Amino acid sequence: MVDLQTQYQRIKADIDAGIQEVIDSAAFIKGPKVAAFQEHLEAYTGAKHVIPVGNGTDALQIALMGLGLKPGDEVITPTFTFIATAEVVALLGLTPVVVDVDWETMNMDIEAVRRAITPRTKAIVPVHLFGQCADMEALMALAKEKHIYVVEDACQAIGATFTFSNGETKQAGTIGDIGCTSFFPSKNLGCYGDGGAIFTNDDALAERMRAIANHGCHVRYHHDEVGVNSRLDSIQAAILDAKLPHLDEYIAARQRAAAYYDSVFSDQNSAISGKLLIPGRQAHSTHVFHQYTLRVVGADRDKLREGLAAAGIPAMIYYPVPLHQQKAYRDPRYKDGDFPVAERLAACVLSLPMHTELDEEQLSYITGNVLKLMIDNC
């Protein structure tokens, strides 16, 4: 699914030099490499404040803590997403409210969000799933109308851009009140361990979230509020700082691979036409393809996956169980069938290999096997 070793070999000298610099300095925690990466990421994203933290889940939790939400406050999030989005809501004693998603883009359905808002709704967490932004123009207008915070889960979409109707362009994670991202190794900008970051343009929020991430400290050993211990270590920052200048070329490589997949699966043999649907696109967002996710309709998705595995081709299901059907998040407010799009997607999505090192020979092998297996399935 991901070829991190080949990617590393291409920039090995820069990575190794950065790691060695940290070791030589022994500045392993909050060292100059962290400060340098923070500055460079602010310049890349256009965010006024970047707060490096330990991982993407921590970023989401600290963001919600920074807003000062109270137990019982409702937070709206899509039911078709990775568990961390709802996990942090539950951990803080807040009330997760899940909504359905769009069949084409697999992102949050804005009209479903509107219907889910109550007087207790304090925040909306759109997930920029698989690498493209949710409909942020419509969502921000709704949030402004209802006086609700927006915390972007951009853990899969760093480098994606959204263009507003007035022509203004912003990066994923820099549109809402707060944005969060992950540097998990498989992400488009990934480190060699865990890492994450928070984005905001609000000075007061930035100050508060920095303190929360540092045990609630504004001044050392003076703890003004309950916080956590979450920081990006210097070695991971050095790795990320070496990779950041290559992020645009990494995105371009993923987009080329996606275009190859599109070209094959959009011009299918009539025997499988309409049974293998390419990822839908959000009209105003670029797509950075953290994942390339097909929808297998009218064929056996699991049999297709097994056939690909037999041919040495990994394929993954992101995500097989929506949040409202997870045992830990079962809620009497929701029942099976309440979120038909998410449930249908869970039954039919299949993600193909997607990374920066895919070449035409590999792509041809993958697509050829997919088509053959689909025809055999049919």
**DSSP-derived secondary structure for 235-247:** HHHHHHHHHGGGH
Whether the CA torsion 129, 130, 135, 140 is positive or negative: it is positive
Q: How far apart are CA 344 and CA 338, in angstroms?
A: 11
CA 272 to chain centre: 31
The pLDDT value given to residue 377? 80
Q: How far apart are CA 24 and CA 320, in angstroms?
A: 45
Q: How far apart are CA 250 and CA 354, in angstroms?
A: 11
Q: How far apart are CA 147 and CA 67, in angstroms?
A: 13
The pLDDT value given to residue 153? 98
Strands, DSSP E only, in the chain?
49-53, 74-78, 95-99, 121-124, 149-153, 161-163, 169-171, 178-182, 196-200, 217-219, 222-223, 276-277, 292-296, 349-352
* Local structure of 75: helix, strand or coil: strand
- The answer to whether 239 and 19 have CB atoms below 8 angstroms apart is yes
The pLDDT value given to residue 273? 83
- The answer to whether 109 and 341 have CB atoms below 8 angstroms apart is yes
- The answer to whether 319 and 82 have CB atoms below 8 angstroms apart is yes
The pLDDT value given to residue 378? 66
For 195-232, letters b (16+ CB in 10 Å) and e give: bbbbbbbeeebbebbbbbbbebbeeeeeeeeebbebbb
Block means of pLDDT (10 residues each) for the chain, 378 residues, are 96 98 96 98 98 98 97 97 96 97 98 98 98 98 98 98 98 98 98 98 98 94 94 98 98 98 84 89 96 95 97 98 96 95 98 97 97 88
Residue 105, amino acid: T
Which CA distances in Å does 112 have to 73, 99, 124, 134, 285?
19, 6, 12, 13, 20
Phi, psi angle pair for 99, to nearest 5°: -135, 165
The pLDDT value given to residue 274? 87
The pLDDT value given to residue 269? 67
Half-sphere exposure of 221 (CA within 13 A, CB side): 0
> What is the greatest pairwise CA distance in the chain?
69
CA 358 to chain centre: 21
- The answer to whether 209 and 228 have CB atoms below 8 angstroms apart is no
Q: How far apart are CA 70 and CA 144, in angstroms?
A: 20
Residue by residue, DSSP assigns 259-318 as HHHHHHHTS--TTTTTSEEPPP--TTB-B--S-EEEEE-SS-HHHHHHHHHHTT---B-S
Contact partners, residue 4, CB within 8 Å, separation at least 6: 185, 186, 190, 355
